[in-house]
Chain A
Amino acid sequence: MKLKEIIEKLQLRVITAQGGFETEVTGGYTSDLLSDVMANSQKGNIWITLQTHQNIIAVAKLKELSGIVLVKGREPDEETTNKAEEEKIPLLSSKESAFSITGKLYKLISEKKIDA
């Protein structure tokens, strides 16, 4: 499923998307522990988190994640946005909680898989 479809359907706010909206999202990973995301997320996953500091971009880049969704309307630190632009990691935000956005994303991706 393409990133742009997820942005539309989950009504995510785009903070920056230098990398474009055509990235293929392979699934999602929800966690606020960076070591956990490093060890367990998969390439192409979209990462749902409440962490807003710049180190999330390094993790997303290393793991080749398709984007980051900040929950509960949290705003990224300025360095985070700058780094996301530099590294072309799509940075998105949602007013909803991690639980709710993860549930919706799970449903969306599962349905898409059944359709295909």
Chain B
Amino acid sequence: MEPENGFIQEFKVKGGDFSKAGSISTEIKEILQEVGIDSSIIRRVAIASYEAEMNMVMYSRKGEVSFILDSVKILIKTSDEGPGIEDIDKAMQEGFSTATDEMREMGFGAGMGLPNIKKHSDEFKITSEIGKGTNLSITFYLEQQNKQ
């Protein structure tokens, strides 16, 4: 089913630009607050979108985030140009991280990013190609009965 009245917004991410990091997640959150989405859903979307955004800032050269809101769900899709993930199963394990010492000093690289996205979303898909980049698809259902 293709729901009507979908809202789509696209954002661009520049790899390594920590000064803007978090701004996309903030914008998404503000849109959801404006439309009056339930605050417990907004909380989950904010956590997941922040982690996805930070991953792109930290690891990729550049990337894109599409934010789609329709009557059934919130969908966040990201695609980046970057190193890709060698072992997705490993990357999904809590505590596993390939972050540099510098990132760790800043309080990133705890190996919580991807697991947090999965934990707080209703559906999570990840595909990655070494040397090319990583794509995420993160879905949140507005009504829990629509959850598959």
Contacts and interface: CB of A to CB of B under 8 A. Distances in A.
B51 interface: yes
Nearest to B29: A62
A55 B46 contact: no
Interface string A46-80: 00010101111011011100000000000000010
Nearest to B49: A62
Interface string A71-115: 000000001000000000000000000000000000000000000
Nearest to A49: B107
B19 A34 contact: no
Interface residues of A, number: 19
Given A35-B108, A51-B107, A62 B116 contact: no
A70 B113 CA distance: 24
A33 B110 contact: yes
A30 to B, nearest CB: 12
A51 B106 CA distance: 7
Nearest to A63: B46
A53 B22 contact: no
Given A39-B47, A39-B116, A58 B26 contact: yes
Interface of B: 18-19, 21-23, 25-26, 29, 46-47, 50-51, 54, 106-108, 110, 112-113, 116, 119-120
